[in-house]
Amino acid sequence: MELTPERVAAERNWVADRSESVVPLINDVRADLGDVFDTDVSPVTEAQYIAEVDAVFADGDLAVNVAALVALLRDLDVEGDYPGFVVDELLGRELAATIAGAQPLRTLGEATFHYADLRVHGGDDDNAGVDDLEAALAAGFQERLPGWNWTDRESPFGVE
């Protein structure tokens, strides 16, 4: 695989174009986790998602890593799928964490990836890695986007 600025831009466009499937997944995951944790979580709009995609890809060092993981998952297919189960999970979890950002969001992105992955099943024309890719996008971006009340307050653990 060769990553050029043009390839990174193409992967950015692919990620943005997935908004119709990723945004509803983000909102489903947020609603489910809100119920589990007895909190209200604001839904995400397609405009918010695309703006955050733009923010991720505006950071060149982050963009090249996200683009590489996206490209790998888009192309990943294993005959019979099951033997490739571990590698697509590994790549998906890393993509979610990379998009989510620094701790604690990174770990939350990884954990949420597995939760989102249970809700995504690729279409007949998709490679095996595409469902993990969509789950990773949903998990990573939902961590970056506002809506969780605990991220809207100052932490009581900051030391001045």
Each residue of 120-129: pLDDT tens digit? 876 555 676 7
Each residue of 53-99: pLDDT tens digit? 999 999 999 999 999 999 999 988 777 666 667 788 899 999 999 99
Is residue 59 in some structural domain? Answer: yes
Residue 118 lies in domain: 5-150
Is residue 157 in some structural domain? Answer: no
Is residue 156 in some structural domain? Answer: no
Give me the residues paired with residue 41 across strands: 148
Is residue 125 in some structural domain? Answer: yes
Split into its structural domains, the chain has a count of 1
Among 36, 42, 57, 18, which Cα is nearest to 115's? 36
Give the DSSP letter of residue 59: S
Is residue 159 in some structural domain? Answer: no
Is residue 50 in some structural domain? Answer: yes
Burial degree of 124 (CB within 10 A; 0-12, 13-18, 19+): exposed
